[in-house]
C-alpha cells in the first residue's frame, strides 16, 4: 500500500490495464492482438 504513495511523490500515475479473458474456451487471438496494439498505441503514442 505504501509503494503507490512513493510513486505518487514522483508524480507518477497508473497506466490503463489490458487483459484477455476466456482464452481457453473461446480464444480470439487475432481480436486480442488488435486490441493489444490499440491499447499500446493509446498508452504510448510516441513509440
Domain parsing of the chain, residue ranges: 16-47
pLDDT confidence of residue 39: 95
pLDDT at 35: 96
The whole-number pLDDT of residue 5 equals 85
Cβ-based neighbours of 27, under 8 Å, separated by 6 or more = none
What does the pLDDT read at residue 6?
A: 87
pLDDT tens per residue, the chain (47 residues)? 678 888 888 988 888 999 998 888 889 999 999 999 999 999 998 86
Amino acid at each position: 500500500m505504501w509503494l503507490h504513495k512513493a510513486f505518487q511523490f514522483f508524480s507518477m500515475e497508473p497506466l490503463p490495464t489490458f487483459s484477455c479473458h476466456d482464452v481457453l474456451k473461446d480464444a480470439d487471438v487475432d481480436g486480442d492482438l488488435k486490441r493489444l496494439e490499440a491499447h499500446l498505441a493509446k498508452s504510448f503514442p510516441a513509440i
